Structure formats: structure tokens, C-alpha cells
Chains A and B, each alone.
Chain A
Amino acid sequence: MQRKNRLGRVYLVIVFLVLYLPILYLIYFSFSSGSTMNTFKNFTWANYRTLFADTRLIQIVLQTLLLALLSSLIATVVGTMGALGIAASKRTSTRNLMLSLNNVLMVSPDVIIGASFLILFTMLGISLGFGSVLASHIAFSIPIVVLMVLPRIQEMDHALIDAAYDLGASAPQVLNRVILPFITPGIVAGYFMAFTYSLDDFAVTFFVTGNGFATLSVEIYSRARQGISLEINALSALMFVFALLLVLIYFFIQVHQSNRTKRNKQKARNAA
């Protein structure tokens, strides 16, 4: 058993090394003064200076963030309303049908989503650019919001809603004062997932973006096809730090949430 454990440790160390080496490799060379990723010349901040002086790239970063914030916000609103609608439908068969339709975009390969959206926009006569990319990002983020919000709604005790109505609350009041506060953790998680979907996407954007608009992924793709530029390394180092921050935030949201549900359960038990 002891020996097997040690073997396991060694195996895991190798897996972790393989997973992280490429990323660390990128970051390492972002501090090199050379022009290739072959040999490390001298330590320098020059690549970061070039990065911050590259107005085109900075603009694309800002565009990408704006796109992610906006698309995830709209997707969260529509998705939450959809989840409320699905939860409210009376027949199980309707609910299952809606859920299957909801999941179509979750299981489709990105190229299919991209190609079919491209046909859609062309048929509708929508010009390709920020608008079409925004619409696509909203579209592929909605299902994950629904999947995050729906379980919270189903967890909710229906007696709460009945009590609110009995006490004379109107439908909007019930929604604002009872339902929404209860499902907020699901909405936050949904927003967060939608945000990362948008930041991560390359394939769909690649299909539906025109000449005028680019996201970071599309820009990296076109630059990577031209060859190595250590400016991209500097960018990836910054993005790694950003991803690390996002993961930490997400982790804390989850921990906070599970603590709160634990506390609430404790409270309920104490009250009983």
C-alpha cells in the first residue's frame, strides 16, 4: 500500500508538471529579451512595455471584456426568466421538452454553432460585427444560466410563495421580494459561468465576426499563425493571473454559498 501511494504521488506530479509546464513556459519567456521561445536571453520588462503601448491590442482586450460583461448580463436576465418559465410549466412533458431544447447548444460542437449562426445572420441580413458576436455570445450563454438557476427554483418551498400571496402580495412583489432573493446564488453562478464562456470562446466568434471586430481569442489566433511574438507571452502571463483571480473569486462564492446553506440548515434545525 505504501509503495503504491508513492507511485501514485510520482504519477500525479508528472500529470501536474505536464499540465502546467506549457503555461509556465509561456510566462517564463515573457521576461526574455530575445525574439523567440528557444533560448532565454536577458531579463527584461520590455515585452510588457510593448504590450501596454500596443493600443490595438489594449482596445481588443477592452472590447472582449465589454462583450463578456454585456452578453453575460443579458443572458442572465433571459435565462433566469426562462428558468422561471420552465419551472412554472405544469406538464412534465413540456418541461422535459424545454430542457432538451435548452441543452441543444450545450452539446453542439462550436463549429456547428458558429456555422449555423453565420447562416442565420446572413439570411436575416444582419451585418457581421459587434452586434452579431454579441447576439451569438448571449445565445450560447443562456442555457448554462438556465441550468444554474433552475435547481434553485426547484429547491424552493412552494409554501413560501403561497404564504406571500395569502398575505396579499401582488405577482411582481412575490417575484421581487420572495423568489428572486432566494434564487440569487444560482443567478450569480449563472452570470459567472456565462462570463467565462464568453471570454473563452474562439470558434463561434471566429465564424460570426466580420472584418471590423475582433476578440482576444481571434486576435491571438491570427497572430499565432504569423509566428512567435513575445508580446503574446506577456499577455498570456497577465491572463493567467486574471484566470487565477477568477477561479479564486468563484471558489470563494462557492464556499460562501455552501457555508450559508449549512448555516441556514443549522438555523432551521435549531428553530425546530
Chain B
Amino acid sequence: MNTTAKRIYYIPYMLWILLFVIAPVALIVYQSFFNLDHQATIQNYVTYLTSSTYLRMTLNSFWYAFLITLFTVLISYPAALFLNQLKHKDFWLLLIILPTWINLLLKAYAFIGIFAQNGSVNQFLGFIGIGPKQILFTDFSFIFVATYIEIPFMILPIYNAIAEIDPALLTASRDLGATNWQTLIRVILPLTRKGITAGVQAVFIPSLSLFMLTRLIGGNRVITLGTAIEEHFLTTMNWGMGSTIGVVLIIMMFISMALTGEHKRKRKEIDTGATKE
């Protein structure tokens, strides 16, 4: 094959890798060593590691992401299981995917209306005699909306993992006298561990960085790593500190990827994997 011709068409892609993959990561690390006066320093890291505000924020962010991931798994697993028992599985799966094609901002906007002081939920609470409550701008509303948004991304990989199970294994388990519950715990659950891991990966890291939800739904009461980065970059203009938090987030991303195994896929890609079937 003509090697020079090959090199020429490869050039734009290589340029992309250099400019938009390697350079940005290098730059964010580089930037994290500068303070507001453009002096090279490790002060940002010292501040981060010694300030209780930053550490508490990081822990909080982790805790929220953990809760969101946990609730998503708890809701999605049974849903994926029951989906697999339906007749027109592909069609129903498509209906699960459809909401992910609606702009995230619009879904958040809907919840502003639903959870508002005089919104539907409060009207309902008033109607059954509990009386209106402050729902919007609380931790609860943030976790609820984030879970709502992430559910499809968790259902898909779990659904695929369950669909791949050889039905003979389930029959065998039942023939050997296992109850439905035992089959679920001893056979289905271990066989779908990969799907759960993939789902956790697709949900956990994005949950650390959902800054628009913390602003619109959490009402600035909830501060995640993503919110902190956005704040430092776009409001206080302290790029050095913002980059430092960014580096922390990148490190966490690598740790969580190392912990959850080799799968590296983004959410949408899982979608297509599912619809391709």
C-alpha cells in the first residue's frame, strides 16, 4: 500500500489528538500550578488539601454521586429484569431510551414547575392534607432529578447483560429446585455484574459534575465538584484553583475506572449498542 498517501489522510486526526486530547489535559495540569497572579506555585494543592471547605465539598459531592448511583441501580435493576420478560422488548427499550434524547435542560426545567412552591406536587400534598413543603432547592430535589436523568443510562447496560444470559441456565437452575428468588440471587445477579459495573461507570462520574442541576434544582445549596469548577472558571475567574479541582476529578475518574474494570464507554454508545440488536 502507498504509505505516504496513508500518512496524509491520517494528519487531521493526529492533529486532533494532539490539540484536543493531549494538549487540554496537559494544560489543565499546568494551569493548576498557577495562582491568581500567574505565579508558579503549589499553593492551590496546599489550599485544597488543608481547607476543610474544599474537603467537605469533595466528600459531599462523593456522597451525592454515591446516593444517585445507588438509587439508580435499585430502580433500574428490577425494571431491566421485567423489561426482558416483555413481548416486544426492543420497542419498550426504545421507549426507555427516548427521554435521553430530550435536552437535559428541558427536563430540569419541567421539574422547576413540578416542584415549585405552588407546583403540582405541593398542590397534591395540600389536597391530601399534608400541606405544601419546600421541595425545590433541597438536597432531595437534586438527588431525585439527577436519579431521574440517569435511570435510562443504567437500565440499558443491565438490560443488555440480562438479555445475554443463556435461558438454559435459568431452566437448569429451576430444574435443580431453585426458587425464583434463589435463581435471581445466585444465577442472574452474578451473571449481570458486568452490566451493573458499566452502568455505575456511566452514572457515577457524570453525577460528580452535574453543575447545571445543582444551580437550577439544588438552588446553590448543593455544591458538587462540577459546580466548584464552573464557579472558579466562569465566576471568580480563579482558573488555577478550578484546574486543581479538575485534576482531582480526573484522578478520581481514573481510580473509579480502575476499580470498575476495563470497560470504557460513554452513555450514548451504550444506547446504540442496545438499539443495534
Contacts and interface: CB of A to CB of B under 8 A. Distances in A.
Contacts of A203: 209, 211-212, 226
Contacts of B208: 109
A243 interface: yes
A139 interface: yes
Contacts of A77: 12
Nearest to A244: B98
Nearest to A85: B10
B127 interface: no
A142 interface: yes
B17 A116 contact: no
Which of A116, A221, A239 has the most chain B CB within a 10 Å cutoff? Answer: A116
A110 B1 contact: no
Interface residues of B, number: 89
Interface stretch (B49-57, B108-116, B163-171): B108-116
A180 to B, nearest CB: 12
Contact of B119 (A19, A37, A109, A123): A37
A56 to B, nearest CB: 17
A23 B104 CA distance: 11
A220 B253 CA distance: 29
Interface string A1-41: 10011001101100110111011011001000000111000
Interface stretch (B37-45, B76-84, B188-196): B76-84
Interface of A: 1, 4-5, 8-9, 11-12, 15-16, 18-20, 22-23, 25-26, 29, 36-38, 77-79, 81-82, 84-85, 88, 98, 101-120, 123, 135, 139, 142, 144, 146-148, 171-172, 189, 193, 196-197, 199-200, 202-203, 206-207, 216-217, 220-221, 224-225, 228, 232, 236, 239-240, 243-244, 246-247, 250-251, 254, 258
17 contacts: A1-B180, A8-B78, A19-B152, A22-B110, A23-B107, A23-B110, A36-B118, A37-B113, A85-B10, A116-B25, A193-B268, A202-B104, A207-B230, A221-B216, A232-B106, A239-B102, A243-B98
